[in-house]
Amino acid sequence: MSAGTATTASVSTHILDTSVGRPAADVAVALAARTGPDAGWQVLGDSRTDADGRCKDLPALPEGTAQVRLEFATGEYFANGITSTSGNKAEEQGRETPRRSDSGAFFPSVTVTFTVIAGEHYHVPLLLTPFGYSVYRGS
């Protein structure tokens, strides 16, 4: 463990597009941090998910970080037509299926805010569909 590791937390994330059962590639992800609930946000930087849906180059958190915010540009991802509707059983049976908004997604962005403790690593996966999402603390 290098010097300073025990005084800061670290963050990683990945995105799975569960509507197609694949990683969500090329999604913009912004990272911000603050020292407490009443402090202002410090934008640390951004990244894009790779072909495996992972951000491998998120910036390090500054010492004293108490809360972290990840913002995922989900509207941009869906607007680019990443998902496929082929094989949709409702369409095969002649029923109309719900359509996304003009932006490509019901949620144009997903923002996840969480508390961190110095010295711990936080992996925050995003499970995504055009009409919903779920997050959890992974390992």
The 10s digit of each residue's pLDDT in 50-77 is 999 999 999 999 999 999 999 999 999 9
The 10s digit of each residue's pLDDT in 28-57 is 999 999 999 999 999 999 999 999 999 999
pTM value is 0.81
> Which own/partner pairs from 103-106 qualify as long-range (CB within 8 Å, at least 24 positions apart)?
103/75, 103/78, 103/79, 104/75, 104/76, 104/77, 104/78, 104/79, 104/80, 104/130, 105/74, 105/75, 105/77, 105/78, 105/79, 105/130, 105/131, 106/130, 106/131, 106/132
- What is the model's pLDDT at position 105? 76
Number of H helices, E strands in the chain: 2, 9
Q: Tell me what the mean pLDDT of segment 113-125 comes to.
A: 96
Hey, where are the domains in the chain? Answer: 5-135
The 10s digit of each residue's pLDDT in 87-110 is 444 444 554 544 444 556 789 999
- What is the model's pLDDT at position 2? 47
The residue type found at 55 is C
Which comes out higher in pLDDT, residue 79 or 100? 79
Which comes out higher in pLDDT, residue 1 or 112? 112
Domain 5-135 has CATH 2.40.10.170: no
